[in-house]
Amino acid sequence: MITTENVKNGVNVDQLMATIEAVQGNPELAKFKFRSKNNWIEGGNCVSSIKSFYGVGEEDTTRDKTFTLECDHPQVLLGKDKAPTPPEVILHALGSCLTGAMVYHAAAQGIDIDAAESSMEGDMDLQGFLGLKPEVRKGFNGITFKIKVKSEATDEQLEELAKYSPVFDMIVNPTPVQIVFER
Amino acid sequence: MITTENVKNGVNVDQLMATIEAVQGNPELAKFKFRSKNNWIEGGNCVSSIKSFYGVGEEDTTRDKTFTLECDHPQVLLGKDKAPTPPEVILHALGSCLTGAMVYHAAAQGIDIDAAESSMEGDMDLQGFLGLKPEVRKGFNGITFKIKVKSEATDEQLEELAKYSPVFDMIVNPTPVQIVFER
């Protein structure tokens, strides 16, 4: 028997529709918990390990490897420049998430995405981080995300799809962070 | 001539103090722009390149390599699990930034950090991303950051230092994102 998978933009649309139906039947399946462990090396150099997550009603057993990510700082920020800074990593996560959200939702709606590339820039005033001016914020004042997409859909349609991005939501809206010290 | 560098927690404190003085004398030096380029591969798989940044009054010329970061999705989210998801990458950036901020500010205040490791968890209801329930947010409902620190400082002192983190600020407070489509 030959079966043809219905794949659009690299997304298996049959599986996507089945997932949506399954979640509609049992909203508990939509609850996910993502995790990361972080080890401090020295200064602003840290290494994270990412593997376990909870979703689709159980602890995941399919991921068979641990992803390792690193952060460091360039020389002008007193680091050894072994890896990108945390704010640069945020830009990577944001760009990937906006693009992925656009691609998945386009697939669900039958819209072809033939190509996509983007660039991001965030501006920051380090007087905030250094504690020199309390009125200056510590993070980016703003981020500009420029994306080139090859698709017959309009900019307005594509922007609406991209905005389903979980990371976009976490950046433009407040997300509570609980800090717990253990000894 | 023998010179002894004043290094605490892996941070060159002399250089940190010189940086703070320089910024106090000329606040323009504190203005940074960080950047990332992102290429869509297929589905929820993207690769970012990170190199150029602006800071200390000029385009950086010291970083001699390009960092490459990838995002993908596990099988249950219709990916090939080649790399962590964007929300997992956010946890990596947040943990690294909270830790780095604590370490730098501790160094500036003469506080020793002997060791630090942390774990993060964020919970998400995919009914938001899937567009099934408009009242469910797309990003994490909340993030818990648990950190074990070996230091003589109190939890309260250390938490105050960690909160200088630029990424923490971007997650707990709104950061505007401008989306620009180009063809």
pLDDT-derived band of residue A2, with 50, 70 and 90 as boundaries? low
Report the CATH number that the domain containing residue B138 is assigned in CATH.
3.30.300.20
B127 vs chain A: nearest CA distance in angstroms?
6
Instruction: Answer whether A93 sits within 8 Å of B116, measured CB to CB.
Output: no
Q: Which residue among A90, A123, A149 places its CB closest to the CB of B167?
A: A90
Tokens of B4: 């002894």
Chain A, chain B: beta-carbon pairs less than 8 Å apart: 444
Residue A12 CB burial class (10 angstroms; 0-12, 13-18, ≥19):
middle
Count of the separate structural domains present in chain B: 2
Q: Which residue among B39, B143, B149 places its CB closest to the CB of A177?
A: B143
For the stretch A137-152, pLDDT in tens is 999 999 999 999 999 9
Who's near B156: CB < 8 A, 6+ residues apart? none
For the stretch A111-128, pLDDT in tens is 999 999 999 999 999 999
A55 plus A90 within the same structural domain: no
Residue B43, domain member (yes or no):
yes
Residue that is written with structure tokens 């490791």 in the block: B117
- pLDDT above 80 (res A167): yes
A72 plus A110 within the same structural domain: no
The residue range of the domain holding B169 is: 85-173
Q: What are phi and psi for residue A129, nearest 5 degrees?
A: -60, -40
pLDDT-derived band of residue A183, with 50, 70 and 90 as boundaries? confident
pLDDT-derived band of residue A5, with 50, 70 and 90 as boundaries? confident
B1 vs chain A: nearest CA distance in angstroms?
23
d(Cα A47, Cα A69) in Å, to the nearest integer? 6
Full-model pTM: 0.97
For the stretch B79-117, pLDDT in tens is 999 999 999 999 999 999 999 999 999 999 999 999 999
A108 vs chain B: nearest CA distance in angstroms?
10
A156 plus A97 within the same structural domain: yes
